[in-house]
């Protein structure tokens, strides 16, 4: 197409005194000389920014005169075949880890007839806990028993003439294969706490004779002293030992 000569063109205006006066009146400049000086004043040059000396060698240099190579761009038309492309480079496969050889299971040791017999005995014997074995042992034990009774108090005023005011009576009855008479321990005393001491001595001697307390019944207490107490004991039977041996004596 040819260019149209009638089209408007843009041209730079000429600086005339009339233009300077108009600019001074528009920009509120004091005089046309100031406007002309402002229009013709040179623009100060901006100093370039320089890198510090220690970084000048580290900064890359750009050669603006070297030619720049661009890849050729081929526009594609509708229906046009695509240009051939280079195949991607082959990728090497990752190395495979070595697989350990399977380990054969160890052969079990040979089973002897004695092993079979012991395994059969263990299977035929029921499992017992320690508590059940102790209960069976306790059930097979024969026991012998005894009863200890304390009776203490003070005599009446008529009975204290010529005697001590307090009495202590301890009776031990035995129950077992032997028939033995009971053991009686008694005394008169003027000490109100004597029943407590005598009762403690008898219990200690029974413990030394392997008697085990089963039950204890306490009665009333008078003036901080025992009045009526009854206790039951047991111990295993030993062949050749009588039920009242060893004898309890205080």
Domain count for the chain, please give it.
1
> In whole angstroms, what is the distance from residue 171 CA to residue 229 CA?
11
Mean pLDDT of 229-242: 93
Question: Mean of the pLDDT values across residues 75-100?
Answer: 74
Please check whether residue 223 lies inside any domain of the structure: yes
In-domain check, residue 135: no
Residue-wise pLDDT for 14-27, tens only, equals 667 777 777 666 65
Residue 102 within any structural domain of the chain: no
Instruction: Show the domain range for 176.
Output: 140-236
- Average pLDDT across the chain, whole number: 75
48, part of any domain: no
In a domain, 53, yes or no: no
| Average confidence (pLDDT) over 166-171 | 91
Evaluate whether residue 116 is within a structural domain.
no
- Per-residue pLDDT for 159 more than 60? yes
Closest C-alpha to 150, from 64, 229, 44:
229
Is 161 part of any domain?
Answer: yes
- Distance CA(109)–CA(102), nearest Å, equals 21
Q: Is residue 6 part of a domain?
A: no
pLDDT at 209 over 90: yes
Q: What is the 3-state secondary structure (H, E, C) of the chain?
A: CCCCCCCCCCCCCCCCHHHHHHHHHHHCCCCHHHHHHHHHCCCCCCCCCCCCHHHHCCCCCCCCCCCCCCCCCCCCCCCCCCCCCCCCCCCCCCCCCCCCCCCCCCCCCCCCHHHHHHHHHHHHCCCCCHHHHHHHHHHHCCEEEEEEEEEEEECCCCCCCCCCCEEEEEEEEEECCCCCCCEEEEEEECCCCHHHHHHHHHHHHHHHCCCEEEEEEECCEECCEECEEEEEEEEECCCCCCCCCCCCCC
């Amino acid at each position: 197409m040819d260019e149209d000569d009638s089209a408007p063109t843009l041209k730079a205006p000429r600086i005339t005194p009339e233009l300077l006066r108009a600019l001074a009146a528009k920009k509120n400049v004091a005089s046309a000389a100031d406007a002309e000086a402002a229009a013709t004043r040179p623009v100060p040059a901006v100093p370039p920014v320089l890198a510090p000396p220690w970084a000048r060698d580290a900064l890359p240099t750009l050669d603006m005169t070297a030619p720049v190579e661009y890849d050729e761009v081929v526009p594609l038309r509708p229906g046009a075949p695509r240009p051939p492309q280079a195949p991607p480079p082959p990728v090497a496969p990752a190395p495979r880890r070595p697989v350990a050889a399977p380990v054969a299971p160890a052969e079990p040791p040979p089973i002897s007839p004695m092993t079979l017999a012991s395994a059969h005995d263990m299977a035929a014997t029921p499992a017992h806990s320690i508590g059940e074995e102790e209960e069976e042992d306790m059930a097979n034990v024969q026991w012998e028993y005894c009863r200890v009774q304390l009776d203490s108090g003070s005599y009446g005023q008529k009975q204290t003439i010529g005697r001590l005011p307090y009495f202590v009576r301890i009776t031990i009855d035995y129950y077992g294969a032997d028939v033995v008479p009971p053991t009686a321990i008694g005394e008169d005393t003027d000490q109100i706490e004597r029943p407590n001491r005598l009762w403690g001595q008898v219990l200690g001697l029974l413990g030394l004779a392997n008697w085990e307390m089963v039950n204890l019944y306490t009665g009333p207490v008078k003036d901080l002293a025992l009045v009526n107490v009854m206790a039951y004991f047991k111990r295993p039977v030993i062949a050749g030992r009588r039920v009242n041996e060893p004898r309890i004596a205080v």
